[in-house]
Amino acid sequence: MRAMLLSAGLSTRLGEIGDALPKPLLPVCDIPILRYGVALLVGHDIRDIVINLHHKGDLIRAELGDGSAFGARIRYSEEEKLLETGGGLRRALSLLDPDGRDEPFLSMNGKLIFDLDIAALVAHVARDPDVLGTMVVRRVPDATAWGAVRVESDAGTGRARVRDILGAGEHMFTGVHVTRPSVVRRLPDGPACMIRQGYLPWIRAGEQVGAFEAGPVYFSEHSLPERYLGANLDLVAGPRLRHPPGPLHGVDSSAHVHPTAILRRPFRIGPGAHIGAEAVIGPGAIVGAHAIVEDGTHIERAVVWSHARASGVVRDAVLTWSGLVPIAPRPGPSPHPPARETPEAS
């Protein structure tokens, strides 16, 4: 199976955080979000990956290259004009279906970190081939805020079917689906939304779209500053992913930590980072590669980007290359599923 990571958005809702980097390259525990998607796919032996580019696409190319460093083969689809989710897939069909065999492919939003069991999804799709596509959904208490998906069991087959989208329902669409090139070719030329110009009108015309419920696995989306900071704090705190793209906590062996610095778990200190005398790191601190934390600095519930310089108190904030971005603390418990019970978590 081939896969596409949709990565051409503009990051407008992230404000200052999205100015310097495209959303798929924002660092979570000092690793770009897009590399989490690549690791998930490669971990399920999906190695032919297409990525569409628009906003600062050259940075994405520079980060991932041809994918060989990650065990993948990555090719790129350039979009001079934003084509949205459906239009981006349609433009990339020559890469997703080069031999015209119309094999199913997986589409995933490049701004996600998702511990999806792709093997289970692929097996589900194989048992239910007579649908236009299979949408991966999650049951959530605030489904309407995410664009609710109504899922029902088909009376004839007993299989889960999507009956409506953006109306009433108890599920949200995760941004992951499996479909075929012949289905994507039904979309209009130019910009097109896979939901609004695709699945939704097709469902209302009586056609069949399947649903796969992801279950209680880790899922985070990073369109807002508080979600971005929250994902960093979630993943530095413990094992949540079966296929992480690299170390998410602890001190890298090449980092320099002054003997008088205080480290309070959970934290991540990246390669080549410098932690000064009497600095306090954590709890909930991520210091990126080659960042400098000056003497006496206190970092808590915060992210310091690679090569940034931190001083004073950095709390409930993201320190980018442009400066400090304060973020209101997330109220209550994490909205994401808890870490899986594993020996490492105990």
User: What pLDDT, on a 0 to 100 scale, did the predictor assign at position 330?
Assistant: 62
DSSP 324: E
Cβ-contact 133, 177 below 8 angstroms: yes
CA distance 134 to 308: 42
The structure's pTM equals: 0.93
- Residue intervals of the chain classified under CATH 3.90.550.10 are 2-221
CATH architecture group of domain 249-341? 3 Solenoid (2.160)
225-243 pLDDT, tens per residue? 999 999 999 999 988 999 9
CA-only gyration radius of the chain, Å = 21
User: What pLDDT, on a 0 to 100 scale, did the predictor assign at position 331?
Assistant: 57
CA atoms within 13 A on the CB side of 102: 7
| Beta bridge mates, 220 | 113
- Residue intervals of the chain classified under CATH 2.160.10 are 249-341
Residue (of 262, 268, 306) closest to 285 by Cα position: 268
The single residue listed with the structure tokens 């329902």 is 169
CA distance 330 to 346: 25
For the chain, how many residues are written? 346
Alpha helices in the chain (DSSP H): 17-20, 33-43, 57-64, 84-91, 93-96, 118-127, 143-146, 181-184, 200-204, 225-236
What interhelical angle do 57-64 and 33-43 show, nearest 10?
A: 50
The single residue listed with the structure tokens 């006496």 is 296
Mapping DSSP to helix (H, G, I), strand (E, B) and coil, where does residue 167 land?
Answer: coil
Low-confidence ranges of the chain (pLDDT < 50): 332-346
Q: Which one of 3.40.50.300, 3.50.50.60, 3.90.550.10, 3.30.559.10 gives the CATH number of domain 2-221?
A: 3.90.550.10
CA distance 121 to 53: 26
User: What pLDDT, on a 0 to 100 scale, did the predictor assign at position 338?
Assistant: 39
65-115 pLDDT, tens per residue? 999 999 999 999 999 999 999 999 999 999 999 999 999 999 999 999 999
User: What pLDDT, on a 0 to 100 scale, did the predictor assign at position 156?
Assistant: 83
